[in-house]
Amino acid sequence: MHMSMSKATRVTVTLDPQVAEWAKQAADRQNRSLSSVINASLRTALVHDSLAKLPVDDEAERAAAYVDVSLNEAAETHARRNRGAA
């Protein structure tokens, strides 16, 4: 879901020369503005950082792993049955 903002905030930052060049090259390759590339990069990094700090629910992880194993076992059983019927 993309949230529209009513007003953009103008910020002046100083980038390392190599980072500035990478951003310019990315903008050229993607046919986007430099501002758009920097916004997307910051958004991605900030979301990743936020998600990395979320606590892990061990019980939920075990339940999800059990579901994955159960689905894999069911798929293998189904595949074996279909091979035998062919």
**Mean pLDDT value of segment 50-71:** 79
**What backbone torsions phi and psi does residue 15 show, to the nearest 5 degrees?**
-100, 150
Task: Give the tokens for residue 27.
Answer: 């903008």
For residue 80, give the nearest of 70, 72, 66, 65 by alpha carbon. 72
Reported as a pLDDT band with limits 50, 70 and 90, residue 3 is: low
**Structure-model confidence comparison of residues 21 and 80, the more confident one:** 21
**Structure-model confidence comparison of residues 18 and 75, the more confident one:** 18
% of the chain residues with pLDDT over 90: 37
- Whole-number Å distance between alpha carbons of 41 and 20: 12
- Whole-number Å distance between alpha carbons of 26 and 78: 46
Q: From residue 2, give the alpha-carbon distance in Å to each of 7, 34, 36, 39, 44.
A: 15, 20, 14, 13, 13
